Amino acid sequence: MTRHKRRRDPVGAACRVAALAVLSGFLVFTAYLGFAASRGVGIDFLRGASSVAVDGTGMGPALAGTLWLLLLTAVLALPIGIGTAIYLEEYAPRTRVTAVIESVAANLAGVPSVIYGIVGLALFVRALGMGPTILAGGCTLAVLALPGVIVTSRTAIRRVPEGLRLAAYGLGATRWQVVRNQILPAAGSGIVAGCCAAFTRTAGAAAPLLVLGTATYMSFAPQTPAHPLTSLPTQIFTWATRSQEEFAALAAGAAIMLLLLLLIMNLISALVVRRLSGAAR
Amino acid sequence: MTGRRVRVWRCITGSVAALLLGGCVADARRVVVIDGSSSLYPLTEAVSDAFVRENPGARIVVRVSGSGGGLRRLCEDEADIAGASRPMTAAEMARCRASGRRVLAVPVARDGVAMVINPANEAVACLTLAELDRIWRPDTSVATWRDLRPALPAETLRLFGPGTDSGTFRFFTRVVVGRPGASRTDYYMTEDDHLIARGVAGDRWSLGYFGSANQAAHPDRLRMLAVDTGFGCVLPTPAAIRDGRYSPLARDLYVYVRSVLLADEDVFSFVEHFVSASELLAEETGYAPLPAAEYARSRALLSEARREALGQAAGDRDRPHAVAVEARRVPGRDPS
């Protein structure tokens, strides 16, 4: 694009301004959080349990809770979600049932997360008797992540060129061999990127977990899925709504931790995507 | 897929499975779950903190869902201990017994229902019980401060208070309006006392009420109103709560525990610690301690209940129940 053309391009200029605004907005926001957190957050904050006194309180339990929730969500939602996507795209005949499954999955992706919390409370906490535990939270978040995983995985699988499939079948490959050796490697980067997006949504979800019932005070970091539910987003909520000003710093500190966690997840997914797309070519 | 990659995947799935399995098996120490009253929360938090310092590795979890919510969860096995700012009602007790669960009430401290206003509102310092009734009754005609007293400014009275699951709500409506649960509804209702505090601190002409201990957390952002209960205008200070001058609006706070759980070492020592620590911590967290004899009686009651629970756990079912919970008279009956 030449210089001359760019100058006459008001839409492009507007887009550049918008991008800069987003970037600077994010920087200002992070700086504000950092400033707020710098008053009253020390090393102990990473390890300590939530407690009465502002000093000595920490987000150890909440951080451990969020890591557990991410692990459970991954273990539950990824196999089911990617499996469903492969089934719908590669195996299922185009019948009315699959059409219904498709539209349900697509519509569920837009349902507000608090609705999933109510479902989780009725189903996992009450009906299945899990109580307000990490396990119930993980199951709820897995259900929350599922539609996103299915929709993005399907999109990635659908983008695999039809010629690749036909060529493999032409060489006598079975359906599973086609999926395993052709489709998954080719669609892998798209699936990983999509799943990561679905994951970051669940990692930051506070509303569904608050509905399940989270701990206000917790003296220990959860070590098994059977332990009571706690997480970074709900801990941020608890601290942010406390009426003593000092807790605002703790909320900001936990918010930065959550941002860092999401950043690390996105970095890992970007690395995986790069490797996979390199391998496919 | 190359052999190396297969090995990596096996390693990942294997360690995830081991982590999940191992986690479930290694759960040795009992998690003690306390749910319930927000009025009792500051004391619960202080007591739990002290307990964890003295017993490193103890696993305590506190949730806040109001006295009603806590007692309901106690009888549904979702909590081991419930904090309550009112005695259990007969209906709640019946529901709990119907499912075969017996509970023990342990009084731990007293507090008052504090009326709070914004510090910028200097026009009013004291309200009578009759005035509170006029503000909060369901058929109220009080919309501005002037409706209450002609001398006050004609500013809209913005109200903040606890929601219907709160023990404070039932207590306040019973004492002030005369019927538990009877209240105007056009106010900001929440089970979260912090939101009431924030609401009142942010609005010059507001009025709110909650357990007096919560006020101790922010003395400069809220102002307590004195209440004329017939003894002149009295502030809900620990001293006034203890000697009865704040009496119609002062109440006992309890922890309820399921009797069978007292057989568990962690639950028993926590409840016992709650009683002993309350005696020391009540005053500094904004409550009034109970008379010392009351704590001694609670301790005796607890160890008796523990002996019985241990006897039952050992299969000694013929022994008559030493502690009949229902027989324990709790002051301040709730007629519903």
B123-133: per-residue pLDDT in tens? 999 999 999 99
Chain B residues within 8 A of A138 when measuring between CB atoms:
none
- Closest by Cα among A86, A76, A37, A80 to A59: A37
Q: Which of B10-24, B27-41, B122-136 is predicted most confidently? A: B122-136
Look at residue A2 and tell me whether its pLDDT is greater than 80. no
Q: What is the pLDDT of residues B305-317, one digit of tens each?
A: 999 999 876 665 4
Angle A53-B188-B157 (CA atoms, 0-180°, nearest 5)? Answer: 110
For chain B, what are the domain ranges? 10-111+254-327, 112-250
Higher pLDDT pick, B331 / A188: A188
Q: Which CATH code is given to the segment(s) B10-111+254-327?
A: 3.40.190.10
Residue corresponding to tokens 């990596």: B8
Which chain B residue lies closest to A56 (C-alpha atoms)? Answer: B49
Tokens of B168: 């404070």
Q: Is A226 exposed, middle or buried (0-12, 13-18, 19+ CB in 10 A)?
A: middle
Look at residue A137 and tell me whether its pLDDT is greater than 60. yes
Residues 118 through 147 of chain A touching chain B, CB cutoff 8 Å: 131-132
Q: What percent of chain B has pLDDT over 90?
A: 52
A133 DSSP assignment: B
Backbone angles phi, psi at B153, to 5 degrees: -65, 155
Look at residue B10 and tell me whether its pLDDT is greater than 70. no
Q: Do A217 and B24 touch (CB under 8 A)?
A: no
Task: Give the CATH fold of the B112-250 domain.
Answer: D-Maltodextrin-Binding Protein; domain 2 (3.40.190)
Q: What is the DSSP string of B5-64?
A: HHHHHHHHHHHHHHHHHHHHH---SPEEEEEE-SSSHHHHHHHHHHHHHHSTT-EEEE--
Looking at A42-46, A76-80, A177-181, B283-287, which range is the least confident one?
A42-46
Higher pLDDT pick, A271 / B313: A271
Q: How many Å lie between the alpha carbon of B210 and the closest alpha carbon of chain A?
A: 13
Q: What is the pLDDT of residues B173-189, one digit of tens each?
A: 999 999 988 999 999 99
Fold match, B10-111+254-327 / B112-250:
yes
Look at residue A237 and tell me whether its pLDDT is greater than 80. yes
Looking at A120-124, A237-241, A267-271, which range is the least confident one?
A237-241
Higher pLDDT pick, A47 / B61: B61
Q: Do B57 and A223 touch (CB under 8 A)?
A: no
CB atoms under 10 Å from CB of B262, counted, come to: 25
In this prediction, residue B318 carries a pLDDT of 46
Look at residue B86 and tell me whether its pLDDT is greater than 80. yes
Closest CB to B31: pick one of A52, A228, A242: A228
Residues in contact with B273: Cβ distance below 8 Å, sequence separation at least 6, in sequence order? B47, B50, B51, B54
pLDDT grade, residue B192 (50/70/90)? confident
B244 DSSP assignment: T
In this prediction, residue B325 carries a pLDDT of 44
Which chain B residue lies closest to A185 (C-alpha atoms)? Answer: B1
Q: What percent of chain B has pLDDT over 70?
A: 84
Higher pLDDT pick, B233 / B7: B233
Q: Do A213 and B197 touch (CB under 8 A)?
A: no
